[in-house]
């Protein structure tokens, strides 16, 4: 068999594969829920209800989506230029680390001054952390997939070292936990009385900014060109390595904002379980969004909804929460396949 | 001085060989995939799945070698999924690989929770025991270091030999290497690039799963979450370090294991106990990156690595 590009895909061609992929994901998850002895209909009802069924549930989903929008954007920006940043997890912690380093008493400033400073330094930390793999790639030809992946392990150990050493909160009852942020360094609530912070607003703003960069600015054009064909881009006079480095800085900075927003908006201090793999989930978010920055917002809401919904489903129906991870991994694989099938037809030979 | 003395104990070298075994399996598996032109980032998840499958099989009453086969089979299933998506469908090997890792890891954890809902600490199994090879194991120093390992370890070293013979001395090996260098030439010979690449990924994934199974069936005798802990990613670095050759990859895995065994022992010396333990745990990952930096320039990467082949396309 081989694949043949379709010039003008029909409406059915564009819709059928993604819809089938979604249906197959649900079918597989239903089967697995039945293995756990649960009724699949009630499982999906519980997931939906747990994610969007009440005001509390919706706010929880929005809160969970916030870091995923940042990491999803980080991955989308990088993957667009075919720069494989799998290290959003480490960059997230870099942002979180800078937030607690500067926000727990070092800068006794009012909110209006300290919050932008913290955000800026977080961005810088994430950008610099990803700059290393980017330079290793452009200077020495070292594959960035492995270096960014390994950086996740190295940086988490580094954070663990600091949390058990110099950053350890003396009031923390012996837990490896940083001191709490100053009240001025906390992101305010988006709406008074609702448990949703300005990190969400910042995430939406970031998505729009990335979209503007990608669709309206030269850098966005260059990033796309480098992603499509590196040789052709170089031939057209685009400084490929410089574009890759800029992409890395942008991507690392975006991922770091996830750490800033989680610490300053939600947790108030840094612990080693700040992120349950937001960096890795960002890859799923970005792919489901087809790497489109505005699509990332919706994909993040979808993914966050599944996680939040699965948490409450698991408590009610006694099905392991890992069902959510399986669903997302399946959706990721089937969706990439489906998107390809909207543009190619399979020919037997 | 304490540190130097470590090198002169047979138990240190025995540990080196033991630590290197899972890396040898998985590096060999990744090497086979990449030699055929497919980067397999499913490695980390496939190792997790293999670790669980082999252990679970033995826990439910099968023999140890049956457990190894079960692990290998599960690995091959994920390898089939990976190769189906990346080879005939030509999807991004990065995305599919990461997707397979996520799928294999999460379905393993799901299966673990279903199989053992009540336990707080995972049960142990009667794992592989060291087997003293007659005569050889009686050689002073070398014997206890190399020839008193479990049969699972001997299998790893045997597979390296078999793999290099097959890769370099048989028509099949030539076809696999050619599929990773110049797939069009393979197709011109009337061979199917698709079949060769899929076969290589499936076999390679089986090896990766055996590497995972070693952890539960010969090293820790039990299954823990996070037990693979980045070993798969390290193996990808080891393939580059070994410049895609089985022998060199074996050497890389042993060197790496020596370093790992050393850091564990240095931690326990008076010098090591003054340092945060995280510094030592970081070392294997830092070392992998260092190895990549040193080797990447002169590495002879398979020319068609990560290039999908679509017959009839020009």
Touching A: B residues 153-182, CB under 8 Å:
none
- Residue A177 is predicted with a pLDDT of 87
Domain total of chain A: 1
Q: What does the pLDDT look like over B198-216, one tens digit per residue? A: 999 999 999 999 999 999 9
Report residue A186: phi and psi, to 5°: -90, 140
- Residue A184 is predicted with a pLDDT of 87
**Tokens 């599919």 — which residue?**
B96
Instruction: Tell me whether residue A307 is in a domain.
Output: no
Find chain A residues with C-beta within 8 A of B278's C-beta: 157-158, 160-161, 164
Task: Name the residue among B99, B100, B113 with its Cβ closest to that of A320.
Answer: B113
Task: Name the residue among B41, B107, B237 with its Cβ closest to that of A326.
Answer: B107
When mean pLDDT is compared across A12-21, A186-195, A320-329, B135-144, the lowest value belongs to B135-144
Give the 3-state secondary structure of residue B174: helix
Touching A: B residues 221-240, CB under 8 Å:
229-230, 233-234, 236-237, 240
- Residue A195 is predicted with a pLDDT of 80
Q: How confident is the model over A1-15, as a mean pLDDT? A: 83
Provide the token pair at B44.
């980390």
pLDDT tier for residue B274 given thresholds of 50, 70 and 90: confident
The span from the CA of A289 to the CA of A26, in Å, is 19
Query: Which residues, listed in sequence order, are joined to residue A178 by a DSSP beta bridge?
Result: A168
Q: What does the pLDDT look like over B137-180, one tens digit per residue? A: 778 777 777 787 888 999 999 999 999 999 999 999 999 999 99
Q: What does the pLDDT look like over B211-239, one tens digit per residue? A: 999 999 998 889 988 899 899 999 999 99
Q: What does the pLDDT look like over B42-75, one tens digit per residue? A: 999 999 999 999 999 999 989 999 999 999 999 9
Helix axes B171-181, B10-35, angle to 10 degrees: 70
Given phi > 0 = left and psi -120 to 50 = alpha, else beta, which region is B61?
left
Instruction: Tell me whether residue A125 is in a domain.
Output: yes
Q: How confident is the model over A188-198, as a mean pLDDT? A: 83
The span from the CA of A19 to the CA of A241, in Å, is 38
The CATH number of the domain covering residues in B2-117+135-296: 1.10.3470
**Residues with Cβ < 8 Å from A110, sequence gap 6 or more?**
A184
**Average pLDDT of the residues of chain A:** 92
The span from the CA of B111 to the CA of B181, in Å, is 39
**Average pLDDT of the residues of chain B:** 90
Q: What does the pLDDT look like over A295-315, one tens digit per residue? A: 999 999 999 999 999 999 988
pLDDT tier for residue A84 given thresholds of 50, 70 and 90: very high
The span from the CA of A40 to the CA of A30, in Å, is 5
- Residue A288 is predicted with a pLDDT of 92
Distance of CA B84 to the CA centre of its chain: 21
Instruction: Tell me whether residue A261 is in a domain.
Output: yes
Task: Name the residue among B276, B289, B312 with its Cβ closest to that of A147.
Answer: B289
Q: How confident is the model over B268-294, as a mean pLDDT? A: 85
Touching A: B residues 263-292, CB under 8 Å:
276, 278-279, 281-282, 285-286, 288-289, 292
pLDDT tier for residue B135 given thresholds of 50, 70 and 90: confident
**pLDDT exceeds 70 at position B311:** no
Domain spans of chain B, in order of start? 2-117+135-296
Count of pairs with CB atoms under 8 A, one residue in A, one in B: 125
- Residue B312 is predicted with a pLDDT of 59
**pLDDT exceeds 60 at position B1:** no
H/E stretch holding A22 reads helix A11-35
The span from the CA of B114 to the CA of B109, in Å, is 9
Cβ contact B213:B51 at 8 Å: yes
**pLDDT exceeds 50 at position A185:** yes
Of A161, A170, A326, A124, nearest in space to B101 by CA: A326
Domain extent at residue A186: 69-292
Quickly count: other Cβ atoms within 10 Å of residue A19's Cβ: 10
Q: Estimate the share of chain B in helix, then strand, then coil, as percent rounded to the nearest 5.
A: 70, 0, 30
**pLDDT exceeds 60 at position B109:** yes
- Residue B314 is predicted with a pLDDT of 43
Q: How confident is the model over A283-300, as a mean pLDDT? A: 95
What are the E-state strand segments in B153-242? none
- Residue B2 is predicted with a pLDDT of 66
Provide the token pair at B219.
């090293």
Touching A: B residues 244-263, CB under 8 Å:
none
**pLDDT exceeds 90 at position A167:** no
Report residue B242: phi and psi, to 5°: -85, 15
Provide the token pair at B14.
């025995």
């Amino acid at each position: 068999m081989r694949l043949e590009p379709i010039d003008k895909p029909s409406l059915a061609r564009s819709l059928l594969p993604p819809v089938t992929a979604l249906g197959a994901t649900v079918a597989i998850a239903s089967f697995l829920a039945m293995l756990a002895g649960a009724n699949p209909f009630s499982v999906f009802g519980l997931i939906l209800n747990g994610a969007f069924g009440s005001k509390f549930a919706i706010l929880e989903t929005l809160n969970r989506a916030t870091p995923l929008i940042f990491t999803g954007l980080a991955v989308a920006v990088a993957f667009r230029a075919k720069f494989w940043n799998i290290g959003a997890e480490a960059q997230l912690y870099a942002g979180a680390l800078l937030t607690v380093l500067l926000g727990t008493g070092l800068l006794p400033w009012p909110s209006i001054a300290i919050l932008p400073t913290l955000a800026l330094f977080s961005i810088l930390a994430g950008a610099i952390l990803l700059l290393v793999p980017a330079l290793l790639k452009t200077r020495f030809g070292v594959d960035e997939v492995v270096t960014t992946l390994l950086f996740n392990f190295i940086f988490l150990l580094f954070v663990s070292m600091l949390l058990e050493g110099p950053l350890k909160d003396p009031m923390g009852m012996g837990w490896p936990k940083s001191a709490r942020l100053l009240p001025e360094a906390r992101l305010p609530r988006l709406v008074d009385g609702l448990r949703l912070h300005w990190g969400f607003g910042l995430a939406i703003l970031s998505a729009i900014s990335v979209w503007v960069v990608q669709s309206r600015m030269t850098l966005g054009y260059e990033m796309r060109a480098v992603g499509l064909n590196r040789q052709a881009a170089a031939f057209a006079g685009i400084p490929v390595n410089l574009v890759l480095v800029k992409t890395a800085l942008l991507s690392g900075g975006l991922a770091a904002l996830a750490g800033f927003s989680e610490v300053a908006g939600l947790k108030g201090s840094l612990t080693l379980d700040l992120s349950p793999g937001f960096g890795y989930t960002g890859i799923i978010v970005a792919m489901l969004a087809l790497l489109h920055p505005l699509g990332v917002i919706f994909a993040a809401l979808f993914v966050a909804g599944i996680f939040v919904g699965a948490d409450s489903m698991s408590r009610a129906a006694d099905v392991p929460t890992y069902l959510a991870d399986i669903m997302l991994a399946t959706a990721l694989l089937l969706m990439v396949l489906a998107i390809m099938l909207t543009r190619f037809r399979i020919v037997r030979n | 001085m304490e540190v130097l003395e470590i090198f002169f104990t047979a138990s240190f070298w025995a540990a080196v060989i033991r630590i290197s075994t899972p890396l040898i399996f998985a590096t060999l598996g990744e090497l086979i995939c990449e030699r055929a032109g497919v980067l397999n980032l499913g490695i980390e998840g496939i190792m997790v799945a293999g670790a669980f499958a082999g252990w679970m099989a033995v826990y439910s009453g099968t023999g140890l070698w049956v457990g190894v086969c079960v692990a290998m089979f599960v690995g091959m299933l994920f390898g089939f999924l990976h190769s189906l998506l990346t080879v005939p469908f030509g999807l991004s090997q990065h995305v599919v690989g990461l997707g397979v890792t996520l799928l294999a890891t999460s379905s393993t954890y799901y299966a673990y929770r279903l199989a053992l809902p009540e336990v707080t600490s995972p049960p142990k199994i009667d794992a592989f025991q060291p087997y003293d090879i007659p005569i050889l194991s009686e050689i002073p120093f070398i014997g206890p270091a190399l020839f008193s390992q479990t049969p699972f370890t001997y299998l790893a070293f045997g597979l390296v030999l078999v793999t290099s013979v097959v890769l370099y001395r048989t028509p099949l090996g030539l076809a696999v290497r050619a599929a990773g260098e110049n797939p069009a030439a393979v197709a011109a010979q009337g061979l199917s690039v698709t079949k060769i690449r899929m076969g290589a990924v499936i076999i390679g994934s089986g090896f990766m799963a055996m590497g995972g199974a070693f952890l539960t069936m010969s090293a820790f005798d039990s299954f823990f979450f996070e037990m693979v802990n980045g070993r798969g990613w390290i193996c990808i670095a080891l393939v580059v370090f070994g410049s895609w050759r089985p022998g060199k990859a074996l050497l890389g895995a042993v060197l790496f294991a020596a370093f790992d065994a050393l850091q564990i022992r240095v931690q326990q010396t008076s010098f090591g106990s003054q340092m945060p333990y995280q510094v030592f745990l970081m070392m294997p990952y830092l070392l992998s990156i260092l190895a990549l930096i040193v080797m990447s320039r002169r590495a002879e990467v398979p020319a068609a690595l990560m290039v999908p082949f679509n017959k009839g396309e020009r």
